[in-house]
């Protein structure tokens, strides 16, 4: 991510599955067509749980499961369709390019990509990266990095929503709710 101007970083601690899902729901409510969310983290870190919340925020009522064996699960029926993509079994950049995932990334829905490190160079250069880490039995750290102005705005809106200050201009958002920094 070297050379990215205005990279905004947000750290969040979730104390439960319900809280992780709630963060996903809030995020899902803010997403727009073509948004790309990258989820990185070890097995059991909460990637699918967060995606379930995103689906709920988009108004999707179907049960969301990990697409580990199918590569892509499509969930229509909400405010926007959700494309849940799992790159765990992908071997590299060329394989991702050959899959034609751009139709999802630049389409009318929201793409959530698990295991993006498998082929980061083949993914959209602007995105929201969420790295999940296990820090306790039910406790998770979410390190959120906005890459690109659209995602800077998304993080500002997420902060405003979480702190109840949605009417404040972006430069005046209270940041005490989260640890947040610009790098």
- Distances 44 to 113, 141, 143, 144 between C-alpha atoms, Å: 16, 13, 16, 18
Supply the pTM of this predicted model: 0.85
Per-residue pLDDT, averaged over 8-13, amounts to 87
For residue 85, pLDDT beyond 50: yes
**In whole angstroms, what is the distance from residue 102 CA to residue 115 CA?**
17
Query: Percent of the chain scored above 70 by pLDDT?
Result: 84
**Short-list 58, 71, 70, 65, CA closest to 29:** 58
Per-residue pLDDT, averaged over 132-161, amounts to 93
Domains of the chain: 15-182 (3.40.50.300)
For residue 104, pLDDT beyond 80: yes
Q: Which tokens is 101 given?
A: 């995932």
For residue 76, pLDDT beyond 60: yes
């Amino acid at each position: 991510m070297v050379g990215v101007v205005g990279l905004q970083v947000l750290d969040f601690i979730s104390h439960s599955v319900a809280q992780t899902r709630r963060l996903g729901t809030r995020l899902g409510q803010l997403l727009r067509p073509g948004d790309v969310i990258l989820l990185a983290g070890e097995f059991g870190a909460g990637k699918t749980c967060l995606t379930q919340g995103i689906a709920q925020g988009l108004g999707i009522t179907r049960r969301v499961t990990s697409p580990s064996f199918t590569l892509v699960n499509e969930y229509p029926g909400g405010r926007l369709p959700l494309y849940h993509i799992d790159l765990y079994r992908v071997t590299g950049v060329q394989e991702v390019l050959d899959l034609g995932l751009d139709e999802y990334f630049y389409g009318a829905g929201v793409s959530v990509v698990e295991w993006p490190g498998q082929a980061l160079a083949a993914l959209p250069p602007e995105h929201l990266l969420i790295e999940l880490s296990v820090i306790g039995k039910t406790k998770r750290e979410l390190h959120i990095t906005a890459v690109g102005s659209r995602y800077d705005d998304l993080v500002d809106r997420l902060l405003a929503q979480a702190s109840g200050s949605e009417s404040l201009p972006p430069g005046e958002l209270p940041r005490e709710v989260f640890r947040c920094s610009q790098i």
